Amino acid sequence: MADDPILSVRDLHVSFRTKRGLARVVRGLDYDLHAGETLAIVGESGSGKSVSTLAMTKLIPMPPGQVSGEVWLGDDDLVPLSEKHLLHYRGRRIGYVFQDPMTSLNPVHPIGRQLTEGMRYHLELSDEEIRERAIDLLQKVGIPSPEKRLDDYPHQFSGGMRQRVVIAIGLSCDPEVLVADEATTALDVTTQAQIVELIGRLQDELGMGVIWITHDLGVVAGIADRVLVMYAGQVVEAADVDALYARPRHPYTVGLMRSLPVLGDLERRDLASIPGLPPSPTALPEGCAFHPRCAFRDDDRCATEAPPLRDIGDGHLIRSFYEVPEEIAQEAAAEARIEIEPPDADDVGDAAAEVGSRSGRGGET
């Protein structure tokens, strides 16, 4: 891992003015991302995980939205930059892959045109070079016979293939940071496996930093180096992936893990659900934002005083006055552990382990 982070976010705040008052969607976010590193941001809807990355390049409606803090990409702070200047960063240095491959492509343009649009704007290349690069990118993301498919329209691709195109667009200008915002949520699980594998392989090849935003703790386990758990616009727990899964210490993270049904759970334990609902960003509770739902709360303190994010050792951060006791943390981790080995490619013929992309018939409509 490189010494200097390629992306540093400091005290990022994002809020929106609404009729019901100020919605504070991201409240003081800090993190570093290094080259080649995968940072996972986990949270439920409304936790601010998506908005925080969109706000880095102000891809949110700005009259109601407000951004403050610092976003250092190399030596540049993006927050004070004007719309015009940000154009040089969006797509060029920070690439995005969004959730829904159905709507993140424009249905009336062929994919080749959408793929080359950013390159034509950002890169000083001839038309011929751009075309070559486009073909190369499609090849990389596993689209068979790419030179023939450049002129096809999005509807001529299947969901998984479309998401590959979206990834190719995200990578088209060789960004230092790729933000994958719920990039596999809309896909079937077998397709998700392909896409996760693909992004991992591309990251190894190209060495970019990846911010992977998801609500799926399973996906995170396989790909992340470091994990941020967000709740109500703040990081409530941050740790290296192994530490987090072995010993989650924040009550919310523990709650999430215990509410997860786990494959191959033999005796069918009861799922421990987190009572209640996440707070509305316009009406955040006093004190700790999680305290109304917390099983470990102490009403005197948690309801009045907001806990700071503190280090409990080895860069494991939690935002809570109380650490979940070791035994409970380990129990939660054990509950999330599968009891039977899932089938593996080794169990079947080797041919199956090959990525489907190279087969001739992939990608038909």
Within 170-199, which residues bind other proteins (CB under 8 A)?
188-194, 196-197
User: Can you tell me which of 280, 308, 310, 311 binds other proteins, judged by CB under 8 A?
Assistant: 280
275 binding other proteins? (CB under 8 A): yes
Minimum distance, C-beta of residue 161 to other proteins, in the bound complex (Å): 7
336 binding other proteins? (CB under 8 A): yes
Q: How many residues bind other proteins (CB under 8 A)?
A: 79
Tokens in use for 32? 């570093």
User: Can you tell me which of 150, 265, 285, 328 binds other proteins, judged by CB under 8 A?
Assistant: 265
Closest to other proteins by CB, 134 or 336: 336
Minimum distance, C-beta of residue 268 to other proteins, in the bound complex (Å): 6
Tokens in use for 277? 């609902």
1 binding other proteins? (CB under 8 A): no
Indicate the pairing of strand 65-73 with strand 76-77. antiparallel
The closest alpha carbon to 73, from 85, 60, 62, 61, belongs to 85
User: Can you tell me which of 3, 19, 84, 108 binds other proteins, judged by CB under 8 A?
Assistant: 19
Residues 130-161: b if buried by 16+ CB within 10 A, e if exposed: bbebbbebbebbbbbebeebbebebeebeebb
CA angle 29, 50, 295 (to 5 degrees): 65
Q: Which amino acid, residue 190?
A: T
Minimum distance, C-beta of residue 131 to other proteins, in the bound complex (Å): 26
The C-alpha atoms of residue 59 and residue 103 are separated, in whole angstroms, by 16
Pick the stretch among 65-73, 88-96, 112-120, 259-267 that binds other proteins (CB under 8 A): 259-267
The C-alpha atoms of residue 207 and residue 37 are separated, in whole angstroms, by 8
Closest to other proteins by CB, 47 or 114: 47
Give the H or E element holding residue 341: none
In the region spanning residues 205 to 234, those forming contacts with other proteins, defined by CB under 8 A, are 215-224
158 binding other proteins? (CB under 8 A): yes
In the region spanning residues 26 to 55, those forming contacts with other proteins, defined by CB under 8 A, are 44-45
